[in-house]
Amino acid sequence: MGERMDIPLPTGTFSISVILVGVSHPGNLGAICRTMLNYGFDDLRLVNPKCDKDDGETRARAKHSKRVLEQATVHDDLKDATHDCSLILGTSGKREIGAKTLFRHFMYPWEMVERLEGTAMNVGLVFGEEGKGLSTEDLSACDAFVTLPTWEGYPIANLSHAVNALLYEIQRHRVITTQGRDDGLPDIVPLERHISPPLRATLVDSIEQFANELPGKGERKDSVHQTLKRTLLRSTPTEDEATRIIGGLVDGTTALQYANDKPEWLNKRRRKIE
């Protein structure tokens, strides 16, 4: 679906340039373009790529993110690709073992985001070639290192999966902190689920009135009343969800009154909370 491309990209308090060194698989390159745009990033830089941006598989995997692919820049070395970056973060799954780490001092993705928040920096997030990772020379050019919390028995992730995981963590933080206040992060999926006190009171009343119209003795009606009330309120519905539930309960109450020839139906044609 590409019909909502007019929404601007999220801004955030720092920017990210995704830098791929020696990417060799067209499918990975296309998938990375897609995951970048999925999470609101479009600055892709390729250092000595071993696959073509115009490869059919690359373009097919990129889907509606072809703009990321088309505007990606190509560089001869990592120094040129990071010329405007305030911080260069290398990524690797090859972690040193032991009390002394001589070279790769890693952060996990969430720590990376916490440290970058509010810095206003452009950060180069550097990924190495499939099957090889970053060379010692390229790692030496990085300022710090990020690793995924993969299982130590099989720590190396697929390149496109690694990019996805890190960008997800950044976007997750942006959504939590700025959704609804950033034009690129419209408030569609509610971050907080709560209903106003008046709407809660109406929902509780609609549950009670529905339960009271059920057949059976008072004990059964009270049981249904309490079960519905606690189940629905425990689910912390949104205002819209609560309103729809109330409508359904009122319709159910009205139908029960109609079926039982209740005076409330005969005299008032109910369909409302009383």
Q: Are residues 45 and 141 in the same domain?
A: yes
Residue 2: inside a domain? no
- C-alpha distances (whole Å) from 111 to each of 11, 137, 173, 180 are 20, 25, 11, 24
CA distance 195 to 68: 41
Q: Are residues 83 and 55 in the same domain?
A: yes
pLDDT at position 68 is: 95
pLDDT at position 261 is: 78
Asked whether the beta carbons of 44 and 50 are under 8 A apart, the reply is: no
pLDDT digits (tens, 9 = 90+) for 200-226: 999 999 999 999 999 989 899 999 999
Q: Are residues 122 and 251 in the same domain?
A: no
The DSSP element (H or E) to which 15 belongs, if any, is strand 15-21
Task: Report CA torsion sign: 131, 132, 134, 138.
Answer: negative
**Domain end call among 149, 178, 207:** 178
pLDDT at position 72 is: 96
Asked whether the beta carbons of 41 and 69 are under 8 A apart, the reply is: no
**Domain end call among 151, 178, 205:** 178
pLDDT at position 268 is: 58
Q: Is 177 helix (H, G, I), strand (E, B) or coil?
A: helix
pLDDT at position 94 is: 85
Q: Are residues 228 and 168 in the same domain?
A: no
- C-alpha distances (whole Å) from 86 to each of 79, 107, 169 are 12, 18, 20
pLDDT digits (tens, 9 = 90+) for 33-46: 999 999 999 999 99
* Residue 259, token pair as written in the block: 């079926």
Q: Are residues 102 and 232 in the same domain?
A: no
pLDDT at position 77 is: 96
Domain count along the chain: 2
What is the CA 71 to chain-centroid distance, rounded? Answer: 24
Residue 126: inside a domain? yes
Per-residue pLDDT of the chain (274 residues; tens, 9 = 90+): 455 678 899 999 999 999 999 999 999 999 999 999 999 999 999 999 999 988 899 999 998 999 999 999 999 999 999 999 999 999 998 887 665 555 657 899 999 999 999 999 999 999 999 999 999 899 999 999 999 999 989 999 999 999 999 999 999 999 999 999 999 999 888 888 788 999 999 999 999 999 999 998 989 999 999 999 999 999 989 889 999 999 999 889 888 888 887 776 555 555 555 6
pLDDT at position 274 is: 61
56: containing domain = 15-178
CA distance 178 to 180: 6
* Residue 6, token pair as written in the block: 């007019």
- C-alpha distances (whole Å) from 115 to each of 14, 89, 123, 173, 264 are 11, 12, 12, 12, 63
Q: Are residues 223 and 259 in the same domain?
A: yes
CA distance 208 to 221: 9
The amino acid at 115: R
